[in-house]
């Protein structure tokens, strides 16, 4: 069973909102070519939901990938922890809330978890990324490949908020 969880979400019909799924797909293809894809559980969805907490069982590390508007370009990368953040429905919850659900249901601490949020520019209805988002995607892919080459919380913490990316 893979020990590292990679979860991406976004709407591929909303322009740059597709950055998360696009990065996950490119990263998975790269991992297959490197022969390391089996080390990871790959989860792609339209949005995070309560059920995504179940994916954390037995994991040693988790990465949540999304697009955002209020993010420094090209992306931000930071550790997250369980947090009961307000959300209005059982849909469209933040990853911190997924961690909190896992903690509440399993009575265990979730594994070390991180968010990689890519800067999006245009979230209008269209099925292609903006030029800026395409550039952010390329830089995030290189960064994420670095993460997957050394999937440990210590290595990822060393890269969190790193000015070199």
Which residues in the chain belong to E strands, given as ranges? Answer: 4-9, 40-45, 61-68, 75-80, 113-119
Q: Over the stretch 37-51, which tens digit does the pLDDT of each residue have?
A: 999 999 999 999 999
**Largest separation between any pair of C-alpha atoms in the chain:** 44
Q: How confident is the model at residue 164, as a pLDDT?
A: 46
Among 122, 49, 137, smallest CA distance to 92 is for 49
Please provide the average confidence, as pLDDT, over all residues in the chain: 93
Q: What CATH number did the domain enclosing 32 receive?
A: 3.40.50.1450
Q: Quick check: helix, strand or coil at residue 88?
A: coil
Whether 62 maps to a domain, the answer reads yes
Total structural domains in the chain? 1
Percent share of the chain, pLDDT over 70:
93
Q: Does a structural domain hold residue 131?
A: yes
Asked if residue 133 is part of any domain, the answer here is yes
Instruction: Answer yes or no: is 36 within a domain.
Output: yes
- Domain limits for position 94: 4-159
Q: Is residue 164 part of a domain?
A: no
Question: Does any domain span residue 165?
Answer: no
Q: Cβ distance 152 to 61 under 8 Å?
A: yes
């Amino acid at each position: 069973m893979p020990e590292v969880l990679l979860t991406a979400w976004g709407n591929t019909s909303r322009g740059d909102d597709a950055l998360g799924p696009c990065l996950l797909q490119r990263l998975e293809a790269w991992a297959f070519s490197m022969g390391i894809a089996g080390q990871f559980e790959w989860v792609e969805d339209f949005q995070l939901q309560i059920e995504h907490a179940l994916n954390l069982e037995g994991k040693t590390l988790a990465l949540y990938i999304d697009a955002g508007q209020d993010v420094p370009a090209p992306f931000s990368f930071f550790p997250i922890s369980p947090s009961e953040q307000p959300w209005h429905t059982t849909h469209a919850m933040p990853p911190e809330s997924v961690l909190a659900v896992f903690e509440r249901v399993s009575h265990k601490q979730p594994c070390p978890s991180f968010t990689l949020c890519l800067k999006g520019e245009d979230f209008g209805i269209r099925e292609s990324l903006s030029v800026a988002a395409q550039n952010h995607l390329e830089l995030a892919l290189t960064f994420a490949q670095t993460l997957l080459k050394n999937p440990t919380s210590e290595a990822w913490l060393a890269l969190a908020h790193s000015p070199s990316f």
